[in-house]
Structure 1
Amino acid sequence: MKTKLTTFALILLFVISIAIETQALSFNKLPIKHSSKQWSVEVAEPGHGKELVKSEKGKFNTYSLEIHNIGKDVKSVEVFMYRNEPNSTTKYSLFGCPDGEDCTEGHVEHANFLAKQLNKGIPYRFENFPLAHKATELEVEIIWTQKGKKIGRPLKETFTFAVE
């Protein structure tokens, strides 16, 4: 009877430990690409260099991101990247403005410059970005206006890369 109870307890602990285990966002096969009629977004191995951040086990992994315009020409483009936080509906931006700096300064010029770059077939590339180990989802949001429209209504697409 004692053996059956011990075996049952061990099996129960094993099942509970599997259920409690959290998955970190770690891509097994890179590159991973998502596409739409307008955009191609690819997560790949990070770039390597002395000044680039390296992954830290248990803290964060590093990746690269490349975006191509595969649709119509665009007038302006903005790219945002977010990660999730376990047990929260809040998403955290992977980049922002340093303290004391105005995030809106040069905003329009940057969006127009990025659009020109993408229209020429030159991809927008993040060579190396860190992603928290506890994240289970990476969200890439692209907001753009179409070229040739007098009043540019913003369009948006979101590409989600999640743990499988």
Structure 2
Amino acid sequence: MLSLFSTPADALTFEKLPIVKKSDQWSVQVGEAKKGKDLVKPVKGKFNTYSLKIDKIGEDVDSVKVNLYRNEPNSNTRYSLVSCPPSAPCSKEDPKWAINLARQLNDGNPYRFSNFLLAEKATELEVEIVWTDNNQGRPMKETFTFTNQ
């Protein structure tokens, strides 16, 4: 009976926050969720809440898109968590939001999600960043995967 109400041993739980992963181009940080009366709260046995901060630490970019995914146990499918921060609603069909995000990052202002949900049954969080720049002329992608290991 106890196992029905406890978190699975391999569920994604961050023991120490923030956690930062970096490449030559990006810094991605998962941290504690902002708390507030209008923000979602964790629900034991269902989901946790976290924050996300992305900084551009490499070359300037022309456009940027960010996607968050979680996995589902025993499945290859990844489920999207969010596609745009609440502070800057956007539409993937409108390329202006990707250009505006690039300008924001180029100006040194990070991309932030102050509070997002992550199912307790998830064992991976993927942060996918797709961008373009003048040097390459084609989209590039990096994926940062956060796990318990």
Are positions 1:161 and 2:139 aligned together? no
TM-score (norm 1): 0.79
1:33 positional shift: 0.2
- What is the count of residue pairs matched by the alignment? 137
Per-residue Cα deviation, 1:143-163 (whole angstroms, up to 9, x for no partner) = 0001x34x7200000000012
The aligned amino acid for 2:107 is: K
The aligned amino acid for 2:111 is: Y
Per-residue Cα deviation, 1:21-80 (whole angstroms, up to 9, x for no partner) = 542111000000000000000000001111110000000000000000000000000000
RMSD between aligned alpha carbons?
1.7
Secondary structure of the 1:129 match is strand
1:96 positional shift: 5.5
Q: Pick from 13, 16, 19 the counterpart of residue 32 of structure 1.
A: 19
1:134-145 matched pairs, under 5 angstroms: 134-145=121-132
TM-score (norm 2): 0.87
Percent identity of equivalent pairs = 61
Are positions 1:42 and 2:49 aligned together? no
Per-residue Cα deviation, 1:104-123 (whole angstroms, up to 9, x for no partner) = 442x0000000000000000
1:9-158 matched pairs, under 5 angstroms: 22-95=9-82, 103-106=91-94, 108-146=95-133, 148-149=134-135, 152-158=137-143
Higher helix share: 1
Cα contact 2:12–2:122 (8 A) shared by 1:
yes
The aligned amino acid for 2:63 is: S
- In the alignment, the residues of structure 2 paired with residue 84 and residue 50 of structure 1 have an alpha-carbon distance, to the nearest angstrom, of 28
- In the alignment, the residues of structure 2 paired with residue 160 and residue 96 of structure 1 have an alpha-carbon distance, to the nearest angstrom, of 17
Q: 1:43 to 1:60 in 2, by over 3 A?
A: same
Runs (4+) of structure 1 exceeding 6 A deviation are none
- In the alignment, the residues of structure 2 paired with residue 104 and residue 142 of structure 1 have an alpha-carbon distance, to the nearest angstrom, of 14
Cα contact 2:68–2:83 (8 A) shared by 1:
no
Cα contact 2:67–2:83 (8 A) shared by 1:
no
| Structure ID, larger Rg | 1
Secondary structure of the 2:102 match is helix
